Structure 1
Amino acid sequence: MNVTKYEQETIILFNEQEAAATIYTYNTGLRRTLISLCESHPAQVRQTEDNGIGALTFELPKKWVKVSPPRALSEAQKKVLEDMNRKNRERRQK
């Protein structure tokens, strides 16, 4: 069964009473991260389901679920990063 990109959802569920959150996802990077957490923190994170067509479901502490905006860089920080990138490109070209 083929699942369209639109249907490949990530759903994060939790309620105010329980301490656990459930994450259902098709996202490869997130699945990889959650599988790694299952291995490194088996008491807190566990895979609960595999739908057989690409999605996995995990349970973890809801305190671990975070939403954070991207870091805002100052002009000085941007300049330092640009210089580092330029030096790395020059070094690779040698």
Structure 2
Amino acid sequence: MTLTKVEQETIVLFNEAEATASVYTHNAALQRILLELCQSHPAQASRTEDNRHGGLTFEIPKKWVKIAPPRALSEAQKKVLEDMNRRNQERRK
């Protein structure tokens, strides 16, 4: 059974009573990150289910779930980064 892109979801579930979050995902990049966390932190992260259609479910500490907006740079910071990039490109030539 092949799922459409719309059906290939990522769902993060947690409640206020428990310290863990459940993450169900079809996203390959997120699956790799979570599998690596399961290997490096086996006491805290675990893979709990494989739905056999490409989706995996993981249990992780709720405090690991973050929503982070992109960093807003000032014009001065942008200028510094542009200068650094230009110098790095010149050095590689």
TM-score strictly above 0.5: yes
Shift, 1:89, TM fit: 3.4
Q: What is the rounded CA distance, in whole Å, between the counterparts of 1:88 and 1:28 in structure 2?
A: 32
| Matching residue of 1:32 | 32
Extract unaligned runs of 5+ from structure 1.
none
Q: What is the rounded CA distance, in whole Å, between the counterparts of 1:7 and 1:27 in structure 2?
A: 11
Extract unaligned runs of 5+ from structure 2.
none
| Matching residue of 1:63 | 63
Residues 47-88 of structure 1 deviation map (CA, whole Å, 9 limit, x = unaligned): 001112211100011111111211111111111222222333
Shift, 1:30, TM fit: 1.0
| Matching residue of 2:77 | 77
| Matching residue of 2:51 | 51
SS at match of 2:67: coil
